[in-house]
A and B are shown apart, each in its own frame.
Chain A
Amino acid sequence: MSGIVVIGAGQAGCALVAKLRALDHDGPLTLLGAEPHPPYQRPPLSKKYLLGEMPRERLFLRPEAFYADQGITLRTGCAPDAIDRAARCVRIGDERLPYDQLVLTTGATPRRLPNMIGGGLDGVFTLRGIADVDALAPRMRPGARLLVVGGGYIGLEAAAVARGLGLQVTLIEAAPRILQRVAAPETSDYFRALHRAHGVDLREGTGLARLLGAGHVTGAELSDGSRVEADLVLAGIGVAPNVALAEAAGLPLDNGIAVDKLGRTGDPHIWAAGDCASFPWRDTRVRMESVQNAIDMAECVATNLLGAQTPYDPQPWFWSDQYDTKLQIAGLNAGYTRVVARPGARAGSLSHWYYAGDRLIALDAMNDPRAYMIGRRLLARDTSPDPALLAAPETDLKALAAA
């Protein structure tokens, strides 16, 4: 028996092998990862780890001994060359590693600024792995000028860390507002005000024309013709799913590796989970980029590898830390028609509740864990409180959830 091989030793890959062993599967299990590290958590990379407040050892999802103890062959620094579907094996140099079942948990890669506009200059960074932070962090010295390109979560979190470290920060967003792809204007407003209050020069509707400098970046010309000086540039302009192996093997792609409800690709022996995979959900096909999705989808695939027929039906949640604000999100707001704002019980706490018609589909909670926890419960039960009741500060949230 050849066993299960997992390619991609990140959040999803780790959750998958751990779940298989927790389910008492005792067959051969191999986890292959391109990075030199055992699986680690990425969220701190744009938060406490970048800030220098968290040592590297605490990023690892499991202690190194875990893998050997559980009979999991972890091979770091290992990037296979190809999947041979006919021979049912993974090619690593001259080696042929056979599999009964193969799982792709290859994650995603940040988009880079094109070389044509200076993306290849020294001092230009993206943020995905430990190596990226280890290169960037030593250069984040007080007084240095940082240009963040892109007002998504990673760009905003990095801007907050940089302000905390005493850098001068300019953040540009080509879309009319930050977080446009993921949040309502109300939530964008909250974070715009937060960053400006912390001294970020935040410019929306402003794209990057080109980076300036010879060898090392010295600044940028923006789409409105203005110029900013910069010692460092961080591109937070989204990611592309890592599909190269799947594509070369002829597996169907659709905004990532396309899988069915069970997590299976077009090949019955090959599965995928996490950032790299798109799956059918509520009449559409989605690809999510979150810890929740990496863990839950990987665990679902683990049960299905062992013969269950469990469709993956996520309860999405996400968080982001910026300055002293914790944003917690539950649900997916795609297709919302209305946003209800509710002030929280504590000073500065606030939540935005998304409705599609009469149906509650998501919420953003800013320093308001009570709203978040109640919202999660309501969403899990697909219960939609009357928006007017919700908006009234005197309404007791607990009573809403009990109803």
Chain B
Amino acid sequence: MVKITYIEHDGTTHALDLAEGLTVMEGGRDNGVEGIVAECGGACACSTCHVYVAPDWVDRLPPMDPMEEDMLDFAPGSDPARSRLSCQLKITAALDGLVVEVPEEQA
């Protein structure tokens, strides 16, 4: 199991033990983390799974592919330094301890 902590916009915190192989989006959505909307179900087509990654984690994650990068470029509230699409982040042992914040609004 991989420990991932999700912090909702109002501060509500979910520290979850998640199975490898899912995505960070699925882990949050399936455990009722508010704000992980994921309308396209993980197809990298909607940007409603946008999260902010804790600063010390930014460089430890696999790099973005061009599609994710371009979606985030114009996503509402996007911060080039720490934004990711959580549906593009596969849960692996390397992500143990990851902390993500959910933005105020998804659109």
Interface residues of A (CB under 8 A from B): 41, 43-44, 47, 58, 61-63, 66, 291-292, 295, 317, 319, 321, 326, 328, 346, 367-370, 373-374, 377, 398, 401
B residues less than 8 Å from A377 (CB atoms) = 74
In the complex, which of the residues B29, B32, B45, B66 contacts A319, with contact meaning CB atoms closer than 8 Å? B45
Pair B40/A319 contact, Cβ less than 8 Å:
yes
For B, the interface residue count at a CB cutoff of 8 angstroms equals 21
Interface residues of B (CB under 8 A from A): 22, 26, 29-30, 32, 39-47, 66-67, 70-71, 73-75
B20 to chain A, nearest CB (A): 13
Of the candidates B46, B70, B75, the one having the most CB atoms from chain A within 10 angstroms of its own CB is B70
What are 10 A-to-B residue pairs whose CB atoms are below 8 Å?
Answer: A43-B40, A43-B43, A62-B30, A66-B30, A295-B39, A326-B67, A367-B67, A370-B70, A373-B74, A398-B74
Pair B45/A328 contact, Cβ less than 8 Å:
yes
With A370-B74, A377-B74 already in contact, the answer to whether A326 and B44 are too (CB < 8 A) is: yes
B residues less than 8 Å from A319 (CB atoms) = 40, 43, 45-46
A residues less than 8 Å from B39 (CB atoms) = 291-292, 295
Pair A63/B74 contact, Cβ less than 8 Å:
no
Pair A373/B73 contact, Cβ less than 8 Å:
yes
A306 to chain B, nearest CB (A): 19
A275 to chain B, nearest CB (A): 16
With A321-B43, A328-B45 already in contact, the answer to whether A373 and B30 are too (CB < 8 A) is: no
**Closest chain A residue to B30, Cβ basis:** A63
Alpha-carbon distance A295/B41, docked complex (angstroms): 12
A residues less than 8 Å from B74 (CB atoms) = 369-370, 373-374, 377, 398, 401
B84 to chain A, nearest CB (A): 14
Alpha-carbon distance A63/B66, docked complex (angstroms): 31
In the complex, which of the residues A43, A368, A373 contacts B47, with contact meaning CB atoms closer than 8 Å? A373
Pair A41/B41 contact, Cβ less than 8 Å:
yes
Pair B66/A346 contact, Cβ less than 8 Å:
yes
- 4 closest Cβ pairs, A-B complex: A373-B74, A319-B45, A369-B70, A41-B41
Alpha-carbon distance A62/B32, docked complex (angstroms): 9
What 15 new A-B contacts, CB under 8 Å, besides A63-B30, A317-B46, A368-B70?
Answer: A43-B40, A43-B41, A44-B41, A58-B42, A61-B41, A62-B29, A291-B39, A295-B39, A319-B43, A319-B45, A326-B45, A369-B70, A370-B73, A373-B73, A374-B74
